[in-house]
Structure 1
Amino acid sequence: MIMQMAGAISDANSLVTQIQNFFLVGVLGLMYTVSIAYVWGQTKSVLKAGVAAIGGAVVMAIVFNMTSVRDKIGEDIKNPSGKTTGAAVRVIDRIGPLDGDRR
């Protein structure tokens, strides 16, 4: 009985992984292609379609690497690198006119 439950859990995990891959690759890839085709259809501009392709590629790269991006950001928040933790601030008391503050 326990072995059957372990097999069912393994099968469910495999099914969830396949569904996630379908949405990541299939649906996101289709959205990417359709968005480029939409921009091209509306503008007939190679430049704008290229910008849409590059922007979509950046979004897809972030989505595909979401786990590593999340871990990297979390690690940076926990352990900030660098020797200084504060920021340098410059305070300006008064800004005069451009002619040298003559009245």
Structure 2
Amino acid sequence: MTELMQMAGAISDANSLVSQLKNFFLVGVLGLMYVVSIAFVWGQTKSVLKAGVAAIGGAVVLAVVVNMTVLRDKIGEDIKNPSGTAAPAAVRVVEHIDPLDGGRR
């Protein structure tokens, strides 16, 4: 019985370690890459505008990475159950006009 309790504790510890590693990579490594990319753009161009664009683009990438599971689930639901609220598209067929005779036949 004690072996079973020890195994449950080991699994809990492993799950905790994996969660901490995930947080380290999301916050530490991606955050460092974000700051380094902005510094690299600033160093290459010395432009506040380009560094700001790099900051905004990096923030969008970080937001997508952090919210990946939410986006995955939302897109999956949209594919499985498309909402029927969109109006049907109207299609109009136009005859081809020959450019040589201007459509006269």
By how many angstroms is 1:82 displaced?
A: 2.0
Percentage of identical aligned residues: 78
Stretch of structure 1 that moved more, 84-93 or 21-30: 84-93
Specify the alignment match of 2:34 in structure 1.
32
Structure 1 unaligned residues grouped into runs of 5+: none
Aligned-CA RMSD value: 2.1
Structure 2 length-normalised TM: 0.84
- TM-score, normalised with respect to structure 1: 0.86
2:59 aligned with 1:57: yes
The number of residues matched between the two structures is 100
User: Aligned equivalents of 1:25 and 1:79: distance in 2?
Assistant: 34
Unpaired segments of 5 or more residues in structure 2?
none
Q: Match of 1:72?
A: 74
Distance in 1 between residues matched to 2:26 and 2:47, nearest whole Å: 28
Name the residue aligned to 1:45.
47
Task: Output the CA distance in 2 between the equivalents of 1:53 and 1:32.
Answer: 8
Give the counterpart letter for 1:53 in structure 2: A
Larger Cα-atom Rg = 2
